[in-house]
Amino acid sequence: MIEETDLMERLVQIESGQAYEHYRPLRDAADEFISWAKNPADRVYTGITELDAAMRGTAPGELTLFQGFAHSGKTLLITELILNNPDVPLVLFTPDETRPLVLTKLTSALHGVGAEELEARIQQDDQQARELLISTAERYGQLAIFDESVSVVDMDNMMEEVSAAFGRKPMGVIFDYAELLEGPDDVKSKMTALKAWGKRQQVAMFVLHQASRTSGGGGKKMQIDSGAFGGEQQATHVVGVRRKKYMHMAMLTMLEEKIANASNPKAIEEYKNRIRQIETVDLPRDMDTVTVSLVKNKRPPCRLVDDIDYKIDEGTGRVRRIDYVDNEHGHTVRVSKSAAVRYLQQRAQYNQIENAMYELEEDF
């Protein structure tokens, strides 16, 4: 027979949702949102102003996907994320790169010293170069890097060790890249496993994912469905990354093929004019840029961000907004607001031309 005190305790548990394995009262969601809204410091930010303004950070249990074709600049942006969060405890799973290589990239980007120069100075026993590496490692002491192949079980064990070493639980986890997760057979299953793992661990997840060759090859503009075999469904945010130089190179190849097969002199001249435009203007302008966009955003009001161009410093791998440019003396200066507006207007017009170009590819 149930005692009255036991019955009352049971009723309290039912009302609070504690008696159920899965069910939770909707009232709890209000408390969760209030806590989320009042504590923006609990989220992890990319350091890219426009993306952070629209996404408002990646919260514990959420997944942000960096999506782009091979060599599109995804790792450059992850390096920027790390550089912009020196005091945030982070874990980087990177089966594709070694820990020394990651540290070298961080050192080059942070101190503005090219990797080749850094390596040469180390070979010459340059103490200052050694100090640059050591000081970078110490500055980012809250970054744990695992460069071996891992499964979600391995990740659980590693997270426990990192939490003990840091004295607190990591806020963000970066996985570079999804296809290298051991265990699940296909990419969609791997992405689902990473999403579930991040939600169970209650950390902000950042996952790099390679776009399909048809949707992301040739520097094409990123779309929400540009990923190879899924991934966008599981993500709270999808950031598209591409290199426009590959788009120009693909267009040159296509135009050269058109010229080889054309018989109309007027058409041939049009193709040649377009080639000259690409070779003298478009390709030099975009040779050292990476383009970023926000193509999916579940955070209300679900604002998206169109293409933003960043300049890549060839020696250090650091990326900067395109309105920070090198003057004739090689120094970095910020252009005026009016010049930046003119530039953005030109880029908007260029993007319209680019979109039309893809629609008319078969007519070239």
Show the domains of the chain with their CATH numbers: 43-242+291-321 (3.40.50.300)
Using CA of residue 187, residue 191, residue 194, residue 200, what is the dihedral sign? negative
Which of 179, 205, 213 is CA-nearest to residue 70?
Answer: 213
User: What is d(CA 305, CA 239) in angstroms, rounded to the nearest whole number?
Assistant: 9
pLDDT number for residue 314:
83
Do 229 and 185 form a contact (C-beta atoms < 8 A)? no
> Exposed, middle or buried, 57 (CB in 10 Å: 0-12/13-18/19+)?
buried
- 3-class DSSP state of 303: coil
pLDDT number for residue 364:
43
User: What is d(CA 219, CA 71) in angstroms, rounded to the nearest whole number?
Assistant: 10
Spans of the chain, pLDDT less than 50:
1-2, 228, 324-337, 340, 353, 356-364
Instruction: Say what the pTM is.
Output: 0.81
pLDDT number for residue 46:
95
Which of 232, 163, 245 is CA-nearest to residue 202?
Answer: 163
β-pair partners for 144: 91
User: What is d(CA 312, CA 76) in angstroms, rounded to the nearest whole number?
Assistant: 9
